[in-house]
Amino acid sequence: MKHYKLDSEEEQILNDIESGKFVSVDNLKDVKREAQEAAKNTMEKNKNINIRLSYKDIQRLKIKAMENGIPYQTLVASILHQYANDRIEARL
């Protein structure tokens, strides 16, 4: 049997399962389907948005993207992703 190093949250979950604190829900199929759908929607990159940016901002983004060797839309998506995940802060 393989042994895995569990973090504290995983250890707590395992302890709760072993002690009988976790019980199955009546509508397990529905809950499982909803969780799978949420996970799928989180991973998909199929939502398009339209935003208005100044010409100067777009040109600056394109320059920065070229300096990094990536398309400017990829750069914009990366910046938005980092902000949405609290990796960078807005300075207004």
- pTM (2 decimals)? 0.52
Q: What pLDDT is recorded for position 57?
A: 96
Residue type, 14: L
What pLDDT is stored for residue 1 in this prediction? 59
Please report the DSSP string for 9-68 in residue order.
HHHHHHHHHHTT-----TTHHHHHHHHHHHHHHHH-----------HHHHHHHHHHHHHH
Q: State in Å, rounded, how far the first CA of the chain is from the last one.
A: 54
One digit per residue, the tens of pLDDT, for the chain of length 92 reads 577 888 998 999 889 989 988 888 888 898 888 888 877 777 777 778 899 999 999 999 999 999 988 989 999 999 998 998 898 988 88
Sign of the CA dihedral running 54, 59, 60, 65: positive
**What pLDDT is stored for residue 62 in this prediction?**
94
